[in-house]
A and B are shown apart, each in its own frame.
Chain A
């Protein structure tokens, strides 16, 4: 029965020139939107709603899913070439993607990001299909207690990402956490650290913070250093299509990491409220933790590109599960997708699981195919994009400064965010100059609010006994194991140096 529906949906998708044309249109739009800082998937869906209004449910949904699925493939482009995270989830890619571009390996980093995104996206689609029979118990097993401990697990990665400066890393992580508390207290509704400024009541926007902490310092360094993004000449870099393929082969070389981070991304996507930022940072942390040479990360480790990029795309398959079948959107992007589905006459919820077989399977195939289609589009434009890393910095820096301003204002819709951008840009520069790790800041900022809200909910529902729930115990064990690994690795390294 299920197989018959799946095959019929597959035939419908590939037998319809109209659906294929819609996907061929949606994929470049998704890539472009991802590459423009500050736009991101949710804005793209919001802007696409008027265009899909009036369409039949399946074509409209296919267009939206195909576009949304490849946004994170596109946002790796500015992250790798200029150190600008197109959105929060791409910030983790900057850490190693940009150093690779500086070493003249932009093509390899872009190839790895492309391969990882495609594999992650396809695995996400497979996971969506595979999870269909076992959805409800899994989704319902995650309550506030598990979300809190998952956030704590992510925060524990701060220690992993701190490298050889654990004190600095932890301090910066605390700073990120502190900044996540700016705005209205989720429990009492009282403003905290707002200094009487209304625009701070909404908190610090993550995209603005990422632009300030990651993009601005890189451009300041580039402008002061002179030359191009790539520190080696174009001839010395030997850029060719071979470099791109080398990057894609890196995904195969690190296939187990790719598989693990894809699955982590799917699971993160399944859990409402965590979102893409968490997926990419958790997977980046996992890549560092599982590496035999963690000191390479932050200086151009290809695994540092692969891990967040697989997670970014695979989580979309996972995130569609609660959105489609429980009408519980896992992120703000999924909220908009849910709204757009409703506009199309689709009623997300358990009945869709029972009665909407053709639509669901068509979306599964659209998700997989759009990720593969993105490879073809991306391959066609990457040689031109990689050349940008050899343009002299004097021309790049002002444009990137302008794009960070645009990105910040587009995301928040308020000019006041420029003040936050300025402050965080200077802070990011100071941290970068003094060699303080910046990744822990992002983890703290992203996970702080999630952890606080979930802890309050857990304490209200279960009291301190929430720590004794079975899945909570598993997550506590994972946190302990992660921290123990870091401690043991530190001692081992210390002993080796001695």
Chain B
């Protein structure tokens, strides 16, 4: 199974390098020099690695350092989805509001923390971000696409 995951990643990277090389061909000669110098070896390296990963003998090879400790793919994919959810929430509702809601949701439904702790932790995090970054340091966070849209509609 790990070899299949490796092969999928390797195939994706191969596609990225092939795409980059193909795109670079359209650039002016000077602009495409470096991208091609990098993308072509990238294609070759990924092809070599993909061949290794797909070799039948690879199944018998001892796992590399760290691979033996792998947690189940489904468990990590769930966390990846949570991370993407944080990004979506921040883009839609802004860093402070979206971030606070995402922290609350994670604590309540992923970490199974109590309601009181989830509320306190998320409110504290949002408050700290607002105080430190917006008030103290003067960073201007965007308000979120949803709020922008609502404002434009109103």
Chain A residues at the B interface, C-beta cutoff of 8 Å? 36, 39, 43, 47, 164-165, 167-168, 170-171, 174-175, 177-178, 181, 185, 187-188, 190, 192-193, 216, 219-221, 223-225, 295, 299, 394-395, 397-399, 401-402, 405-406, 409-410, 413, 415, 418-419, 421-422, 425-426, 429-431, 433-436, 448, 451-452, 455-456
Query: Which A residues lie within 8 Å of B30 (CB)?
Result: 185, 187-188, 456
Nearest to B68 among chain A residues (CB) is A435
> Other CB < 8 Å A-B pairs besides A170-B45, A433-B70, 11 of them?
A177-B34, A188-B28, A190-B28, A193-B23, A223-B82, A398-B106, A398-B122, A401-B103, A401-B106, A405-B90, A456-B30
Whole-angstrom CA separation of A170 from B121 in the bound complex: 42
**Quick check: A436 and B9 within 8 Å, CB to CB?**
yes
Report the nearest B residue to A187, measured CB to CB.
B30
Alpha-carbon distance A216/B103, docked complex (angstroms): 15
User: Distance in Å from the Cβ of A179 to the closest Cβ of chain B?
Assistant: 10
Given contacts A174-B17, A398-B103, contact A299 B71 (CB under 8 A): no
**In the complex, A425→B84 CA distance in Å?**
9
A394/B107 contact (C-beta < 8 A), A216-B83, A435-B65 known: yes
Q: Give the contacts of B110-124 with A (CB-CB under 8 A).
A: 110-113, 121-122
| Interface 0/1 of B97-110, CB less than 8 Å to A | 00100110011001
Chain B residues with CB under 8 Å of A223's CB are: 79, 82, 110
The answer to whether A187 and B31 touch across the interface, beta carbons within 8 angstroms, is yes
Tell me, rounded to whole Å, the shortest Cβ–Cβ distance linking A228 to chain B: 13
Question: What secondary structure prevails in chain A residues at the interface with B?
Answer: helix
Which 5 pairs of residues, A with B, have the shortest CB-CB distance? A394-B111, A174-B42, A171-B45, A398-B106, A224-B75
A44 to chain B, nearest CB (A): 9
Number of interface residues of B (CB under 8 A): 69
Cα-based distance from A436 to B12 in the complex (angstroms): 14
Q: Is the CB of B113 within 8 A of A394?
A: yes
Closest A residue to B66 using CB positions: A435
Provided the pairs A171-B13, A175-B13 are in contact, do residues A409 and B141 lie with their beta carbons within 8 angstroms? yes
Q: Which residues of A contact B27 (CB under 8 A)?
A: 185, 190, 192
Closest to B126 in A: A402
B residues whose Cβ falls under 8 Å from a Cβ of A: 2, 5-6, 9, 12-13, 16-17, 20, 23-24, 27-28, 30-31, 34-35, 38-39, 41-42, 45-46, 48-49, 52, 64-67, 70-73, 75-76, 78-80, 82-84, 86-87, 90-91, 95, 99, 102-103, 106-107, 110-113, 121-122, 125, 129, 132-133, 137-142, 145
CA distance A192 to B16 in the complex (A): 14
Q: Are B9 and A188 in contact (CB under 8 A)?
A: no
User: What is the bound-complex CA distance between A224 and B80, given in angstroms?
Assistant: 10
Q: How far is the CB of A187 from chain B (nearest CB, A)?
A: 5
The reply to whether A433 and B76 contact each other, CB–CB distance below 8 Å, is yes
Q: Which residues of A contact B110 (CB under 8 A)?
A: 223, 394
CB-based nearest A residue for B37: A177
Instruction: Say whether B99 contacts A171, CB under 8 Å.
Output: no
B67 touches A435 (CB 8 A): yes
In the bound complex, residues from chain B placing their C-beta under 8 Å from that of A170 are: 41, 45
Q: How far is the CB of A39 from chain B (nearest CB, A)?
A: 7
In the bound assembly, the distance between CA atoms of A178 and B39 in angstroms comes to: 7
Q: How far is the CB of B100 from chain A (nearest CB, A)?
A: 8
The minimal Cβ–Cβ distance linking A464 to chain B, given in whole angstroms, is 14
Given A170-B41, A192-B35, do A422 and B95 touch, yes or no (CB 8 Å)? no
